[in-house]
Structure 1
Amino acid sequence: MLQQQQFTAALDKLTRLDQNLEQYALAAPLKQSLHQVIAKDHQLIQHFVSERIAQQIKVDALIQQLDAALAQELHAPQLNASQASGKSFWQRWLVIEPAKQPATALMQRPLILKEAQLRLLIAQQALKQGQYLEYQKSLTEIIQLLNQIPDEKSRQLIQNIQKIKGFTVLPTPSLNTRALLG
């Protein structure tokens, strides 16, 4: 049940098992041991759920910040070319390069940002459904999309996505009651 994200059902079954344990013909020390293991598993599930919720809140806040930054860039783009600080003033001020082809990534920047925003929404939904691999895949696709845009703001967005991608999913706890009962 825990693998299927059905925490309340698992807690209910543990509670029912704890209440019905007295009906079974078991030795008193075994019953006491089972009550202790059930109580420990109950606490383990509650701790796991609270940790997962706290992590989800942190990730949601970062995703909301990222979504707001993408929306802001869509409505009021701030294009700044990334510059090396080792250049002198006139080299930073004036850049002359041959234009062999138009900068299609910059022309399609709003479209790329909108696609990144939609993929971020897909990633958030995948995370809420417990589909961690799909979540990681969506974040990787967003990074690949934003790598097409050669401006400083997209680099900041990529760093924020890397921060979100760095969160690890808490492993589902293994219950001792199941091991004892077989």
Structure 2
Amino acid sequence: MYTVKKNGKHGYYIYSQKVDSDEGDISDPEEKLERIIRIVEERNDNGEALLLGSDSFALIYRFIMRFYKRYGGTAALLLFTLSMEEDGDNLKLLDISEQFCALLQKTLRMSDIMMRNGSNSFFVLLTERTRAEADGAINRILDIWDKTEHFEGARISHTFKYINPSGYTETEING
């Protein structure tokens, strides 16, 4: 299977019992390391924020918080929640949520991670940001939201928590 994957989406392989030389036990540690790196590294780097499922997000979130606790660092935690101004238009809200998800991915840095929390809210971790940079990211997202016609009839609220190296947190609720 790895032979196919490493050759991209147009790769193919005819199954055989014999193990290819590059698939078998590699005795050279440097080759083994390179093979592992090829398997785990990102192939399609599109420069967008990383959208993860809740399990993957939780693992990375815990790791980053451990890292910051040990070495210092700053982070901003955001929860964006979408709702309709008039109740009852759930299909439109779902469509707007999909578009907002794409907006977040394109607007945030590739070092930021996000997960969908239900159908209409998004939890975002902005890594290595000053408070001013985090505020700037939020304002950029909200400005795009305000200028996008597709989002008419919907409203957005966000909750923000900033964590600095001393562990101090500030919480802010808007909308």
Larger radius of gyration between Structure 1 and Structure 2 = 1
- Higher relative CO (CA 8 A, sep ≥ 6), structure 1 or 2? 1
Higher fraction of strand: 2
Q: What is the TM-score when the length of structure 1 is the normalising length?
A: 0.25
